[in-house]
Structure 1
């Protein structure tokens, strides 16, 4: 007797998908990393965020087009396989999985550091493992529990950032008693709009692209929704407003209110802004918001990496043991596998933070660009196929196809080849390239064994 095809339960509601799409844009990088970029590029960092945001909007439009035509928990790895060949799906699937299991470890360590602010005696490694374990439980219980946790994590981030935007706008307009409006002084009077030259903008774009990683999670989550088309269309149509409001709005307020060369930007620009209006316990408030952002990313990382591993197992690109789905429709083994790798990574941070763990973090640094590039190439091929064979499936269409698709490919490729010429990104470029070449090599070395595995999987589900 053959086993039934393992299926994931479609329990994510539209409100879950909507909030995941909203919160997916808001990561800890916005709250912390934005200060470093502003300190480097000055007010011109707005242009860096705008250009990177434009590329992400275009990529999300392409992903939305493919996802509405063929919703899949494997998302772009599935589309890469169909459009470019098995090697592309295999490579981008494992690269994306690698990126997120490292992110799980990084966010767990970051969460432990934040908690140590309140409880300094707690050892970092144990708190990291506990955080990962607790959020693993939410993912294992049901996909609905993942959705609920992510809903509330995202809601806290969205409301906090919304209040910050209102507060910043009030400062700029001079509505806060006792706080003088900065006007345009911080934008124009400290060396001009581009105090460090136009080259700083290009450096900023390269850094910012990594901050947007997570916007694509909605395409994966929609595969476990009863109404995937509706969820994807909603998320795709609102991505422009989300990036404009949350990212560009926040950066515009920060560079207007705070001097770009202030040392306070390097700790946390959001804390600095709260301190301007003398909000009690500003650091405490910001730490809570940061912890929420970190836990949200950790939660999403466990979900996304496990779904990618499950999807690859369906295609024979990962061991078939990761196909196991429990009675609640959860890929149990895939979640445990991702969790174990993250535990090992946390262990590496404890034993060798400046060598092994640093290598893993740097090796995952350029994955976002490769993922976005593959999405663009996949859409280019699949759009032509759908127009010939199934035009009715194109519920969302990429704007000005194929010109904007080509433009996006050129833009992302330009950013990627710029990385080795930037000191702070050179190591990430070469290590990401090394990992990518290793994965591509493993595809061809294990091709025969994977073909046998794929045949066995197909027999079991037939």
Structure 2
């Protein structure tokens, strides 16, 4: 039985619009990566490693840089729909392209739901009468409406939301640096005394720097969006090159300096904690020390914007990944349909399942489910990042180059990145949360593999993957 190849008209019907500039692409990736992990979750990492967490964030930034630059080089050569997943299908095998995209779709669905739960909680901080489930539905309606608009409008809105976070973090760094180095009237400059004041720079031992990576690395989650947005870039080669370099530089700068300022101004044992409550955020502690009134309210506004921006960006990513899977025959074909504005409305609707699930769980009061969902996110992200680097190695071994944009060190750098990811995953032996991630993630991969063998591989048409590369080549 011969497989029917889609006609050019059918393929055109599923094409996305190329409307994103390099600034918007960078901010979309920042919108997902610069989230509540910095504003609230940094306390957990500080509690594991103490002031030495600065090194953990620096190492995490280096690992993330290899992923971002590898994606940048490949995507500047092939700005295909489905990003890293479609590239994996070509340079590794259709199975790895299938697995990486489905795992990442699960990531986006879970993260979108979790971020909206956070948004609703932050809203309840001001308006306790609003139930969590109602807040989830309110913010869900907002981000769905944003995503259903044209991709150009989405890019503008996400640029605005991300800019608020970037400006806030930049102001925090400036004020914090002045406070650390020069102090304030009536208050001496603490300098760097707190870095060694309570048990030394590494009070929990140097092994804790490695263990903290299991928390730190997921602060960089979202850089994958650089690859996914390539299919909707106005000028893919230039936009991806600029976005890849600026995104990782900003993230490294923001995370390392912010955490450094926190541990210089606040004793690390005070800054340590789960960071689940806005009032206990390390940022609130710094704002209180500066003497800014309403520090908790300012931080609450920032984390609300951060969570909303991340949810918005992840819904976008999930819809584009599902669109690419459907275009390649690995998801229902109707999910490849786009509206007159070239927006994958079906993909957006199906990727909203996490929003509905979050609202239902909040309404029913079922607990513990989100812990397993986020464990699956942890496992899936590590696999996706490892597959991105493996794809890059195969890409370079075939003699491919990314035109004017190349990752320094090439295959060797990618190898170091894989070693770093292996080190992060190795924390499964000492971190209970990583053990749960493996317990949830490994069965999920087994189920996905069985589905591929039984159903998926029979539906793969090499022409679908080739058409994605032909389309990208014509627009490059």
1:342 to 2:355 alignment: yes
Shift of 1:40: 2.1
Partner of 1:441: 450
- Please give the residue correspondences for 1:415-434 in structure 2 after superposition, counting only pairs within 5 Å: 415-434=424-443
Q: Deviations over 1:364-387 (max 9, x none)?
A: 222221111001100000112134
From the superposition, tell whether residues 364 and 346 of structure 1 become closer, same or farther in structure 2 (CA, over 3 Å): farther
Matched, 1:151 2:159: yes
Question: 2:10 matched to 1:4?
Answer: yes
Post-superposition Cα deviations, 1:372-428, rounded to whole Å, max 9, x if no partner, equal 1001100000112134xxx5x532222223222222112212221332432232111
Question: 1:17 touches 1:231 (CA, 8 Å); kept in 2?
Answer: yes
**Kept in 2: contact 1:349–1:357 (CA 8 A):** no
Aligned partner (choices 341, 359, 366) of residue 379 of structure 2: 366
2:194–2:263 contact (8 Å) kept in structure 1: yes
In the TM superposition, residue 360 of structure 1 has moved relative to its aligned partner by 2.2
- Tell me the alpha carbon deviations over residues 221-275 of structure 1, each in whole angstroms, 9 at most, x when there is no partner: 2321211111111022224421331111111111111100116764201111011
> Following superposition of structure 1 onto structure 2, how do residues 4-83 of structure 1 map, counting pairs within 5 Å?
4-5=10-11, 6-83=14-91
1:352–1:121 Cα change, 3 Å: closer
Structure 2: distance between partners of 1:78 and 1:240 = 23
Match of 2:399 among 381, 386, 410: 386
Deviation for aligned residue 1:355: 4.1
- Pair 1:28–1:448, CA change in 2 (3 A): closer
Q: Residues of 1 paired with 2:108 and 2:302: CA distance? A: 21
Is 2:252 aligned against 1:244? yes
Q: CA deviation at 1:289?
A: 0.7
What's the CA shift for 1:38?
0.9
**1:445 deviation in Å?**
1.4
In 1, Cα distance between the equivalents of 2:147 and 2:125? 27
State the distance in 2 between where 1:18 and 1:365 align: 23
Report the counterpart of residue 3 of structure 2 in structure 1.
Answer: none
The answer to whether residue 314 in structure 2 is matched with residue 294 in structure 1 is no
State whether residues 191 and 264 of structure 2, in contact with CA within 8 Å, keep that contact through their aligned partners in structure 1. Answer: yes
* Mapped partners of 1:434, 1:448: distance in 2: 20
Q: Distance in 2 between matches of 1:122 and 1:385?
A: 56
Distance 2:75 2:181 in 1: 42
Match of 1:405 in 2: 414
Partners of 1:222 and 1:108 in 2: CA distance: 26
Give the counterpart of 1:325 among 338, 349, 358: 338
Q: How many residues align?
A: 455
The verdict on how the C-alpha distance between 1:138 and 1:296 changes in structure 2, with shifts beyond 3 A counting, is same
SS at match of 1:446: helix
- Find the aligned partners of 1:42 and 1:144 in 2 and give their Cα distance: 43
Q: Which residue of 2 aligns with 1:234?
A: 242
Task: Flag structure 1 segments of 5+ consecutive residues without an equivalent.
Answer: none
Taking only aligned residues, the RMSD between alpha carbons, in angstroms, comes to: 2.2
User: Is contact 2:72–2:226 with CA below 8 Å preserved after alignment?
Assistant: no
Match of 1:311 in 2: 324
The reply on whether 1:169 has 2:177 as its aligned counterpart is yes
Secondary structure at the residue paired with 2:340?
Answer: coil
Q: Distance in 2 between matches of 1:182 and 1:192?
A: 16
Alignment partners' CA distance in 2, 1:22 and 1:340: 24
Runs of 5+ unmatched residues, structure 2: 1-5, 472-476
Matches within 5 A, 1:246-265: 246-262=254-270
| 2:119 pairs with 1:111 | yes
Q: 1:32: Cα distance to partner?
A: 0.5
Seen in structure 2, the aligned counterparts of structure 1 residues 165 and 367 have a Cα distance that, compared at 3 Å, is same
Distance 1:269 1:377 in 2: 37
User: Separation in 1 of the partners of 2:462 and 2:124?
Assistant: 46
- Contact 2:271 / 2:282 at 8 angstroms: preserved in 1? no
The Cα shift of 1:94 comes to 0.3
